[in-house]
């Protein structure tokens, strides 16, 4: 049984891990707290970026000699492999750690096995403490490791009657400043932000994260099967890397972006979504924020490639105009994509609804 001090340390480790969100892909976010033999905090650390030291190593360095006889509390099972860095299980043993409490088992085959190594060497090992919180903090990485493709969050903003733009195409600003700030947070945590050519034409979005100079920027991805992107589009401004996906026979993409050629979708308009996700995964993208618009969202949903939905609903009615979601290949009610609400929050005047596909 974990002690109260260990539970407190795990809460802290989950918070430390979150500091890495948006910075660690293709690696997970991980937090670690070292307690000395008397149960007092001796060191803390979190994983700050792929290729850098793992959370346990940062925490061990901070703890120094106080780690001897102590306990390591870590959000993910310590690794057992030599990858970009050495095995943390061995580093914990070398530092004289007597007990390891971790939240979530490592699903990465190459790295797993740390718990067994630690136990075989005589350490006391416990798993599962605050597993739900730790897993939620690492949601995208855990899901992408399991799926072998990036985790996809579809975000939309709409009126209470589900419209994202008025009949004449105008859409600024349906949702409030609070909602728009929340979207910025989602962007900052994503590895890639994806939009379709319709959204590009209608809104000319910039898709960069605002913040102090040098803030990490997600990859901006435009799905533009016909290669219609105009020179001078704001995503071509160099403020962040941009990838424009076009069909094999499309014209050249203007300067300011990298072009990638993808097959067309087997059914419906546009490009093949699984091929896009494969391409992004190969580039180290583990989380995708799908930002628009309704046609692209329909294509992702038809491909069953949406893992989470965040809707910002404004107390506004339009009655006519663009629906937040276009055709998703659903023609009859038995095919409806059923979701399960995981959160409902008021943001200023708006409602933010979070949902995940219901397990059938």
Any contact of residue 195 with Zn ion (CB under 5 A)?
Answer: no
Residue 185 CB, shortest distance to ligand AOF, in Å, is 22
Residues involved in catalysis: 56
Instruction: Kindly tell me which of 80 and 199 has the beta carbon lying closer to ligand AOF.
Output: 80
Any contact of residue 47 with ligand AOF (CB under 6 A)?
Answer: yes
Do 326 and 301 meet the contact criterion of CB atoms below 8 Å apart? no
Q: Which of 72, 79, 100, 289 binds ligand AOF (CB under 6 A)?
A: 79
Q: Which of 54, 99, 155, 352 binds Zn ion (CB under 5 A)?
A: 54
Do 95 and 67 meet the contact criterion of CB atoms below 8 Å apart? yes
Residue 75 CB, shortest distance to ligand AOF, in Å, is 8
Instruction: Kindly tell me which of 112 and 260 has the beta carbon lying closer to ligand AOF.
Output: 112
Dihedral angle over CA of 114, 120, 122, 127, nearest 10: 40
Residue 86 CB, shortest distance to ligand AOF, in Å, is 8
Any contact of residue 83 with ligand AOF (CB under 6 A)?
Answer: yes
Any contact of residue 99 with ligand AOF (CB under 6 A)?
Answer: no
Q: What are the φ/ψ torsions at residue 350 (nearest 5 degrees)?
A: -95, 175
| Residue 83 binds which entry of ligand AOF, Zn ion, none, CB below 5-8 Å type-dependent | ligand AOF
Q: What is the 3-state secondary structure (H, E, C) of 138-166?
A: CHHHHHHHHHCCCEEEEEEEEECCCEEEC
Residue 224 DSSP class: -
Question: In sequence order, what E strands does the chain have?
Answer: 31-35, 41-46, 71-76, 99-104, 124-127, 151-159, 163-165, 192-196, 219-223, 242-247, 258-262, 287-292, 308-314, 322-323, 339-347, 350-357
- At residue 248, the 3 state secondary structure works out as coil
Query: Site size for Zn ion, by CB under 5 A?
Result: 3
For Zn ion, the binding residues (CB under 5 A) are 54, 79, 88
For ligand AOF, the binding residues (CB under 6 A) are 27-28, 30, 47, 54-56, 76, 79, 83-85, 88, 106, 108, 111
């Amino acid at each position: 049984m974990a002690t109260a001090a260990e539970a407190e340390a795990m809460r802290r480790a989950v918070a430390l891990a979150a500091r890495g969100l948006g910075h660690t892909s293709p690696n997970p976010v991980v937090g670690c707290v070292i307690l000395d033999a008397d149960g007092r905090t001796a060191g803390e650390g979190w994983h700050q970026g792929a290729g850098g030291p793992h959370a346990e190593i940062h925490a061990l360095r901070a703890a120094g000699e106080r780690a001897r006889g102590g306990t390591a509390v870590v959000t993910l099972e310590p690794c057992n492999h030599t990858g970009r860095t050495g095995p943390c299980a061995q580093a914990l043993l070398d530092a004289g750690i007597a007990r390891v409490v971790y939240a979530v088992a490592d699903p990465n085959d190459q790295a797993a096995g740390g718990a067994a190594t630690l136990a075989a060497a005589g350490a006391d090992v416990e798993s599962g403490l605050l597993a739900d919180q730790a897993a939620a903090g690492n949601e995208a990485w855990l899901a992408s490791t399991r799926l072998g493709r990036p985790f996809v969050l579809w975000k939309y903003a709409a009126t209470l009657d589900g419209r994202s733009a008025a009949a004449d195409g105008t859409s600024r600003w349906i949702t409030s400043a609070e909602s728009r700030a929340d979207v910025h947070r989602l962007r900052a945590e994503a590895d890639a932000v994806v939009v379709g050519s319709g959204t590009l034409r209608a809104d000319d979005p910039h898709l960069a994260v605002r913040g102090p100079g040098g803030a990490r920027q997600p990859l901006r991805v435009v799905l533009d099967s016909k290669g219609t992107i105009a020179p001078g589009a704001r995503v071509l401004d160099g403020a962040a890397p941009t990838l424009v996906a076009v069909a094999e026979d499309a014209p050249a993409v203007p300067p300011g972006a990298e072009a990638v050629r993808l097959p067309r979708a087997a059914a419906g308009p546009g490009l093949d979504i699984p091929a896009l996700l494969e391409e992004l995964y190969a580039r180290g993208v583990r989380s995708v924020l799908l930002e628009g618009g309704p046609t692209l969202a329909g294509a992702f949903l038809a491909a069953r490639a949406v893992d989470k939905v965040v809707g910002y609903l404004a107390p506004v009615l339009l009655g006519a105009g663009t629906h937040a979601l276009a055709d998703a290949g659903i023609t009859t009610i038995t095919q409806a994509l059923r979701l399960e609400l995981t959160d409902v929050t008021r943001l200023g005047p708006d409602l933010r609804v979070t949902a995940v596909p219901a397990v059938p």
